Structures are given as structure tokens and as C-alpha cells.
Amino acid sequence: MTIAIKYGFLEEDPVVDDHGRFIARGAGAVFVQRLFEIYPDAVLVGDQDRHCDSFEMRSLTSLDAESDLVINLDVLDSVSVFQTMHRHGAEPRILNLQWLHPSRFHHKVNFAAMALSFALFPTLCSGERTAAEVSEIVRRWTIHPLAHQARIGWFQPGIHDDLVQPHTDPEVPVVLYPAIHLTEAKQPKTFLAIVKEVAGRTPLRMEARLAERDLASVLAMRMSSPRWAQVTPLFGRTDEYWESLAHTTAFLATAREEAYGLEYLEALLAGAVGVLPAVSWAQGLVPATYPYLYADNDQAADMLAEVLGDPQAARKAADDSAGGSLSGWITQNHVGSVGDEALRDQIADWFPEAL
């Protein structure tokens, strides 16, 4: 059996460059890289058969529908994947990996398509909250016979700390926009309004690294207009990303909802102090007494100004909330190897031949 990883259907930017390098960034790309680590002989599904840098690309039509397993991170089109691979009558093996929270979509067609996909194919979710949301979509948007047969599981992804670099506070504090897209769900306008308010009180530098499609937007130009702002493309290499995090003072999270929050955990692990909304997805990332959970925009601005005014004191307060070391607490409570094992075990339970 070949494990075929499908990712990129919903991405406007390419995930593999002309040299065959996997260049996607963000949480979805992290899951793809995790799967390659778990299944070293896996292939990436693409529009053609191709030898790439350290992996193989295969088209759906080149896969063996009778024996290969497609792990689809683009769950919206799992029915289409089935139809392509089923053209000669074989029963394709398809697993949905739901790494995004489904509520990011708004149109009834998308909800109906997701519900059908979740009901027809086993679905593994990144986190319990995402699994609960998936179950609710199946219940609301499919007929009972399909909803009744749905197989939905979840795992806690965790985070790997092998690329973390020693943290150094820059002379001018750096505030990170902790996302690569400017979608409404991330509330970038709220982020910018809060940072602008804080910039009127204390020197700072705001950095945002965006996907290509977002760089050309009006909002990106607006975000880059203040003299203290820098909006740039995503880093080409992972080590550059971690090096930048090692010189980041703080980040401000404004998202309404997150499936898990890998980007935030990475920034926290790298030594950046996170100012987060006091909502369930964020509270699940940090200790119960974490000091920088805000209730409204005014409090967010006050907390961010406090962190930038004395980063060392802020980092100590964050460490104290974790019993001495926030990074230690994160690695203990969000263990990547445990998440990898849970992912592998669930796939093996549903598809024993994948072992």
C-alpha cells in the first residue's frame, strides 16, 4: 500500500515549486510534513507524476485504487477524489484529515459538501473541538442513514521543539501578526487597530509574513502603510522562520476560532509572549493562570503595551503561570510525538493495511 497525501486544492499559492521543493507554509503544511515523517515512503498527490526533492508526486489516476490510501487534507473534494479513482469500479481508500475548523466556511454548498464527505469517509480531526463541530455538521447537513455511519475521531497534534533557537529580545520590540492569511476569521483589521493604538504609546515594529495571494490585497497594503510596519512574503526555509521567531517580542492573536493553534504554540515555544483572547481555543493552549488573556480590545492594547514595555517581566509572568517554564509546560502538554503516535494509531485502526 502507498500512502498518498493530498493537499493544496484550497490553496491559491503553489505547494511545490519548479525545483520540486515543498514550499507550503502554515498549519496544513505542518501536517503534511508530519505525515511524511510518519510515512517516509508516502507520495504527494499532484496534477502529474514527478520526482521531487525528497519525495514523489503522483496524480490520482496513477494511484492504485484497490490498495493505496489517500489521506485528504482537502476534505471538501473527497467525493471528487472517490469518483476519479472509482472510474474502473474499485473501492478507493480515503481518509479525511480535518485540520481546519469547518466554520471557516459560510456557504450552504460548502457545508453540504463537507457533511457528505465526513459521512462517507473516515474523518480524523485535529482536536476535540474540531471533531465536535464535524459531528454537528454531519448531523445537520446529511440524511440520517449517512450520518449514522459516520466515523469521526480526533487527536491532539502537539508540537515539535527540535528547531527552536535561543531567544533574543530586539532593541525595538517586534509584534508579530500570527497568521499567513488575512481572512475575516483572523480579524486582521482588529489586529491592526489594536497595534496602531499601542504604537501611539510605545516604540514597536510590527511584522507580518503573508501568503502570496494576501500580499497583493488592499488590506495588506493598508497593514504595511505605517512606518513601523513590515509586511513581507513567507520565508523560503523553515530555519529562517524559526530564526525570526527567536527575535520576536510578542504576538497578538485576534482570531475568532482556531482548530488547534500550531502557529501560536510555535511562537510561544520560541520565546514570544502571546496576547490572546479569553476564549476556549486560546485558553486550551496555555496554563489556566496565563496572565495575557484579554476580554476586549482595550484590555488587549493594555496587555500588549505592558509586554512590549518590559518583555523580560512579561516572559517571567508567563513562566510563573506554568510553574516555572512556559516552554517546558508547552512541550509537556502539547507533545508532538504523542500526537504523531495518536495519528498513526487511528489510521492503523481504520486501515490496518497502512501499518
Using one digit for the tens of pLDDT, what is the confidence trace for 17-52? Answer: 888 989 888 788 889 989 999 999 999 999 899 999
pTM: 0.78
What are residue 231's DSSP bridge partners?
A: 208
Largest CA distance in the chain: 66
Give me the pLDDT at residue 209, please.
93
Q: How far apart are CA 44 and CA 32, in angstroms?
A: 9
pLDDT > 90: percent of the chain: 67
Q: Which of 179-188, 269-278, 337-346 has the highest mean pLDDT?
A: 269-278
> Regarding predicted confidence, which is higher, 304 or 259?
304
Q: What is the DSSP string of 136-195?
A: HHHHHHS-HHHHHH--EEEE---B--TT-------SS-EEE---S---GGG-HHHHHHHH
Half-sphere exposure of 73 (CA within 13 A, CB side): 24
CB of 326 within 8 A of CB of 319? yes
- Alpha-carbon distance of 340 to 111, in angstroms, equals 28
> Which has the closest alpha carbon to 16: 60, 70, 62, 52?
52
Average of per-residue pLDDT values in the chain: 91
What was the pLDDT predicted at 313? 97
Q: Say if residue 10's pLDDT is above 80.
A: no
Distance CA(105)–CA(199), nearest Å, equals 33
Q: What is the mean pLDDT of residues 215-238?
A: 90
Q: Which of 18, 7, 24 shows the shortest CA–CA distance to 211?
A: 24
Q: How do the domains of the chain map onto residue ranges?
A: 3-158+336-354, 174-333
**Which helix (H) or strand (E) is 242 found in, with range?**
helix 238-245
174-333: CATH topology: Rossmann fold (3.40.50)
The beta strands (E) that lie in 22-121 are given as: 43-45, 50-51, 56-58, 69-72, 93-98
Whether 295 has a pLDDT exceeding 70, the answer reads: yes
Whether the domain at 3-158+336-354 and the domain at 174-333 fall into the same CATH topology: yes
Superfamily assignment of 3-158+336-354 in CATH?
Glycogen Phosphorylase B; (3.40.50.2000)
The pLDDT tens digits of the residues spanning 251-294 come to 999 998 887 888 899 999 999 999 999 999 999 899 999 999 99
pLDDT confidence band for 237 (50 / 70 / 90): confident
- Given a cut of 70, whether residue 355 has pLDDT beyond it is no
pLDDT band at 354 (very low <50, low <70, confident <90, very high): low
